[in-house]
Structure formats: structure tokens, C-alpha cells
Structure 1
Amino acid sequence: MQWQQDDIKKYVQAKEYIDTIIMPLQPFHLTKDEKIAQTSYENEILTIFSNELEKELSGRTMRIPSYTYVRSADKEKEIERMKTWVTDIQEQPFEHLFFPTFDMTWKKHEINLPGNLIWLPVTQVEEIQSKEFKKWIHENVLQVSELIRSYW
């Protein structure tokens, strides 16, 4: 399920079956011109990946809005802020939280996250409509969905 009105209506009717949240971690910044394009590219790919992952795991997952943070922010402070999101999320019967990201800096703080980090190496495919990109998405979705299923 997605964070969309129709899906949320379905969720309210079937919440006992949906126990897993997918919340992408997406950095944002406008301070370094040479990195803006790369960051926006990563965000676009992570959105596509997260949506496809949710489709693959349909029936037990909800993909909520991305947790967006300033790339240079202190991760420990961000984790505290993230915990306020998680506290709200835990008002519903969700047992599993997964945070997909391309931002490797989260690995150093993984132990303090209120869920499971899924770090992915970013692909450098130029065209997101290409067969190469679709293959990359498909392969990674299959691998990560297998990982998530192992938590169930």
C-alpha cells in the first residue's frame, strides 16, 4: 500500500494483515552545486525502488512518505527526530520498519535506528527508462524482498 487516499482506506479495513513499513531515507541539500544532480538522481531512483518493493510485498507492507533530512545534518539528532515518526507509526499494529537508502553514512548509526536499515549501492544508469535500469531495479527488489520476508 502507498500513502494515498484509496490505499489508506483499504489499510483501515485490513490493518491486521499489514505489519511492515517501508520508509525511505532521502537526503536533501542545495549547498554543493556539483552534488545536487547526484542527490536528486538518487532520490528519484530510491522512490522508484521503494514503490516497486512495496508492489512486490503487497498485502503486508505500506510505503509511507520518505524521511527527508539535510545531508550534512548530525545523524544522531536525525535519529531522535526519526523516533518521533516511529512513535506515531507504532500507534498502528506495525511490527517491522525498513529504511532503504543510498546514503552510506547511515551504516555508522544503524545500531541506533528504530528499525532495519537497507543500504543499497546506487546504480549509475543514465536513463531510468532503459532495460539496464529496469533490470537493476528488478534484481534489487527481489533481493531486498527476500531479506524482508526473512523478518516475517
Structure 2
Amino acid sequence: MKWRAKDAELYLHSKEYIDTAIIPIVSVQLDSNWKSIVTKGEYTSLITEELERQLKGRVFLFPSSTYVEKEFSLPFIRKLGDSVNREFRHVVFITTEEEWKDALEEFQVITIPHVPLEDLSTALKQKMVQDQIEKILNILLQYWNGS
């Protein structure tokens, strides 16, 4: 389920089954590394969209939380996590930035490696995304079983 009206309505009627919120964290810095930052965000979106597709009925995908500088965004993202945690049993942030793992230690933060996909063939892209999804699914299964 995604952040859209029809999925919100469906969630309200079946929330006992949908216990996990997925929240991507994406940088929007416009500096000399701009293209790299954009590709990291694109990859994060691709991974979280596919994760939602494979776990439909168990997870709710929130819009990406964007930030320019982590220290200024950290209070907002923590507050978002706390707010979402009132409705969902599990809150999982997904990002390419390792630093969020320490900053949000009270939440499950999954960091994914940055993979620049623009020069890869479609078949190789799909394989890399599926490999990453399998790793995330394994993390989620351990997380769900431990909670």
C-alpha cells in the first residue's frame, strides 16, 4: 500500500494485517555531488517501491522524507517515526546513507548500498534490485520475528 487515498481507505479496513510502515530517507543536496545524490534517491525509491509491491498487504509505503542537512532534519524525522509508530507496530526507514542508522537508533534503519543504475542493462538492473530486496526481506523477517 502506498500514500494515496484508495490505499489509505483500504488500510483503514484491514489495518490489523498491515503492521509495518516503510519510510525512505533521501538527500536533496544540490552540490558538486548532485548527480550521485539523485541516483541514490532514485535507487532508494526503486527499492522501496518494489519492496511495497512484494509485501503488499503487510507494509504501507510512506512518501520519502527528504533532507538537506541531517542535523536539521533529524528532529523532524524522529518525530515522524514516533507519530507513525502510534499507528503501525513497526517503523522501518530505508536509506543509502549509513549515518542515519546511528542517528535513528530507536528505529529499524536499513541502509542499502548506492548502486548507479543508469548505465546498466534492464536485466542487470532487475537482478541487482531483486538481490537487494532479498537482503531486505531477510532483515525484515528477523525484525518481525524478534519483535
TM normalised by structure 2 equals 0.88
Q: CA deviation at 1:40?
A: 1.0
Percent of aligned positions that are identical: 26
Amino acid at match of 1:51: E
Contact 1:127 1:133 in 2 (8 A): no
- Give 1:97 shift: 1.0
Per the alignment, residue 4 of structure 2 pairs with 4
> 3-state DSSP class of the match of 1:85?
helix
Are residue 138 (structure 1) and residue 130 (structure 2) matched?
yes
TM-score of the superposed pair, with normalisation by structure 1 = 0.85
Q: Which runs of 5+ in 1 are unaligned?
A: none
Change (3 A) 1:29 1:3: same
Q: What is the Cα deviation at residue 53 of structure 1? A: 0.7
Report the 3-state secondary structure (helix = DSSP H, G, I; strand = E; otherwise coil) of the residue aligned with 2:51.
helix
Q: CA deviation at 1:110?
A: 4.3
- Aligned position for 1:69: 67
Aligned partners of 2:94 and 2:110 also within 8 Å: yes
Equivalence map 1:81-120=2 (5 Å): 81-92=76-87, 94-111=88-105, 114-120=106-112
Runs of 4+ in 1 over 4 A off after TM superposition: none
Partners of 1:83 and 1:5 in 2: CA distance: 25
For residues 79-102 of structure 1, give each alpha carbon's deviation from its aligned partner in whole angstroms, at most 9, with x where no partner exists.
Answer: 32212212321332x111111111
CA deviations over 1:15-39 (Å, ceiling 9, x no partner): 1111001001101111x1x211111
RMSD of the alignment, in Å? 1.7
Using a 3 Å threshold, how does the CA distance of structure 1 residues 128 and 59 change in structure 2: closer, same or farther? farther
- CA distance in 1 between counterparts of 2:112 and 2:93 reads 11
Q: For residues 83 and 41 of structure 1, what CA distance do their matches in structure 2 show?
A: 25
How many residue pairs get aligned? The number is: 144
Letter paired with 2:135: Q
CA shift, 1:14, in A, is 0.3
Check conservation: 1:2, 1:62, Cα contact below 8 A. yes
Match of 2:44?
46
Question: What SS does the aligned partner of 1:58 have?
Answer: coil
Structure 2 unpaired stretches of 5+: none
